[in-house]
Amino acid sequence: MSSIFFYHLTESPLETVLPILLGKARQAGWRIAVRGRHDAMMQVLDTRLWLGDPTSFIPHGLAGGAHDASQPILLGTGMDIANDAQCLMSVGRADVMPEEVAKLERAMILFDGYDPESVSHARTQWKLMTGAKIPAQYWAQEDGRWVKKAEG
């Protein structure tokens, strides 16, 4: 069954959390789409993933290339999911729609807890998802670990 998890980032930046969550999603056997709103942000994340820990390489690509469909992780700004992902990760206040979540194993919304616009966007997305009866979980960082704070 499809579900959506909300990750409230207060102790670690996106550049630190994203590779961890991508690794866990890959361990689950999922193909992943990472959706942002700005190409510049996707390029920064692409660079960070390439320059990350060489012992835990994360295979990925930027959307718009010739091999989008074969990418295990595809970073982009469009609403289409060109790599048949089972998991969608939203960053930078990118929208996620209930009808697309229903077709996935999991969606995740990662949001900056110190950015009021990001928090507001996450609240709107929570209401949209729970209103559409999509099972949702809200996770927050506490003392270096993730703690489930709400379920809807």
Residue 20 belongs to a domain: yes
- What is the per-residue pLDDT for 54? 73
Four-residue CA torsion sign, 87, 1, 136, 127: positive
Confidence of residue 127 (pLDDT cuts 50, 70, 90): very high
The number of domains in the chain is 1
In this prediction, what percent of the chain has a pLDDT beyond 90?
A: 91
On whether residue 110 sits in a domain, the answer given is: yes
Specify the DSSP element, H or E, that contains 73: strand 73-76
Q: What is the DSSP letter of 115?
A: -
Tokens (6 digits) for 44: 């920064």
Q: How far apart are CA 33 and CA 148, in angstroms?
A: 23
Is 1 within a domain? no
Instruction: Give the rounded distance of the alpha carbon of 121 from its chain centre.
Output: 14
The pLDDT value given to residue 51: 86
Residue-number span of the structural domain to which 142 is assigned? 10-151
pLDDT in tens, 53-86: 777 789 999 999 899 999 999 999 999 999 999 9
pLDDT, position 146: 95
CATH number reported for the structural domain that contains residue 44 in this entry:
3.40.50.10110
